[in-house]
Each structure stands twice: as C-alpha cells, then as structure tokens.
C-alpha cells in the first residue's frame, strides 16, 4: 500500500519547520501538521539578536514566516489540524487528525515546548481576559496599565522587557534570589 505522504511532521515550531525544509529538499513528499500558528515559541520573541545570519534583530514571527516560506519553496505542505493518534500499522504509520486520517512511511514528532500554567485560582477562567502567555501578542491591549510577569528564565525576562516598552508599571515576580536568564537579557 502506498502512503499519503513519505514524511509527516507533527509540530510547527523551529524544529518542525526545519525538518519540513530538509524533508522536502530531499524529495520526500512532506507534510507538516500544526494545530495553531506556525513558529512555536519563536512567536514570543520580539527581537532575536543572536541568530546566525541575521546581523540585525529579527522578530520571531518574521523568522517563522521565513522558515515556512523556505520549506514551501522546497515543496513541503502544511495542514492546520490537531493530531489525535499515531499508530504503526505494518510498514506505515497511521496519523489520525481532526481533519482526517493520513498514512506515511515516517513520522517525526517535533511538538516542542508549551507555556507553564501557574495553577493559581482564577487563572483558567481569566485566560484571554487579562491572563496571557504571550506579551508580544497581548501586551499592546494593556498599554500604560499595570502588568505582572512571573518567572526568571529567558522567556519571562524577554517578555518583561517587551512590556516595559508599553508601560512603566511592570511587576516581575520570581521565586528565587536571582534570575536564571542569560546575562545579555
């Protein structure tokens, strides 16, 4: 039985987009499946200053668009859907998605990272109504208002710096005595 695709990639972050580019460039009939926007965590970066080949800062959004275009130029295809199940059946993989069932010789899982929820009362109920996990996406809605950032790693510090351009009322909470973020941040 001939599969629908040679390679199915699950996840549209930097690793998934890179795999799509390489797969398609190697003449594999390649499909990347992502349930949300392509780019993954890169979409949260306002200005990436240390990526090889880009002497000027580039936004994560623009970088993700370039990754996608490069993969498309080589023939990769994209599907917006959620993956429900992956199962090996003989020589093929069966991938059940919200858009239907597909088969392939190989499946590459590049689902990446997701934001951490704090687990505080009201967090789920207020998501999208003041609680956000993307300062670049939602920060402008709260311009000149008091905002709170939780965390001490690169992502939290990067988000706090972005928000500081929108308001002088930024509170940054971290549970340790010092941040874990790179000193460059």
In sequence order, what DSSP letters do the residues of 40-64 get, joined into one string?
A: GGGGG-S-B---TT-SS-B-HHHHH
Distance CA 103, CA 90 (A): 11
Of residues 4, 137, 158, 168, which has the active-site annotation?
Answer: 137
Of residues 6, 134, 154, 158, which has the active-site annotation?
Answer: 134
Per-residue pLDDT band at 185 (split at 50, 70, 90): low
Tens digits of per-residue pLDDT, 33-89?
Answer: 999 999 998 887 777 888 899 999 999 899 999 999 999 999 999 999 999 999 999
Mean pLDDT of the chain: 92
78 pairs with which residues across the strands? 32
Cα radius of gyration (the chain):
19
Q: Report the SS3 class of residue 11.
A: coil
pTM: 0.69
Query: Active-site residue 138, yes or no?
Result: yes
Distance CA 110, CA 92 (A): 19
pLDDT above 70 coverage of the chain, percent: 99
Query: Active-site residue 157, yes or no?
Result: no
Return the number of other C-beta atoms located less than 10 Å from residue 17's C-beta.
30
Per-residue pLDDT band at 25 (split at 50, 70, 90): very high
Spatial neighbors of 122 by CB under 8 A, at least 6 apart, are 131
Rounded mean pLDDT of 147-163?
A: 92
What distance lies between CA 15 and its chain's CA centroid?
10
Spatial neighbors of 136 by CB under 8 A, at least 6 apart, are 43, 44, 45, 46, 59, 60, 61, 159, 162
Of residues 138, 154, 157, 168, which has the active-site annotation?
Answer: 138
- Taken in order of first residue, the domains within the chain and their CATH numbers are 5-109 (3.50.50.60), 123-173 (3.50.50.60)
Tokens coding 99: 């858009």
Tens digits of per-residue pLDDT, 105-139?
Answer: 999 999 987 778 888 999 889 877 888 888 877 88
* Start-to-end Cα distance in the chain: 53
Distance CA 182, CA 185 (A): 6
Query: Active-site residue 4, yes or no?
Result: no
């Amino acid at each position: 039985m001939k599969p629908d695709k040679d390679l199915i990639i699950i996840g549209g972050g930097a690793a998934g987009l890179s795999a799509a580019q390489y797969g398609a460039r190697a003449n594999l009939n390649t499909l990347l499946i992502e349930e949300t926007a392509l780019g993954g965590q890169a979409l949260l970066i306002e200005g990436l200053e240390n990526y090889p080949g880009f002497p000027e800062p580039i936004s994560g959004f623009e970088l993700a668009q370039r990754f996608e275009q490069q993969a498309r130029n080589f023939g990769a295809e994209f599907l917006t859907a959620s993956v429900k199940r992956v199962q090996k059946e003989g020589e093929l993989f069966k991938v059940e998605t919200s858009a239907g069932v597909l088969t392939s010789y190989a499946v590459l899982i590049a689902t990446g990272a997701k934001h951490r929820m704090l687990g505080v009362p009201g967090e789920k109920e207020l998501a999208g109504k003041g609680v956000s996990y993307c300062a670049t996406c939602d920060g402008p809605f709260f311009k000149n208002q008091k905002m709170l950032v939780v965390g001490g790693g690169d992502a939290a510090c990067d988000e706090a710096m972005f928000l500081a351009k929108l308001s002088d009322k930024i509170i940054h909470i971290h549970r340790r005595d010092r941040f874990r973020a790179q000193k460059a941040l």
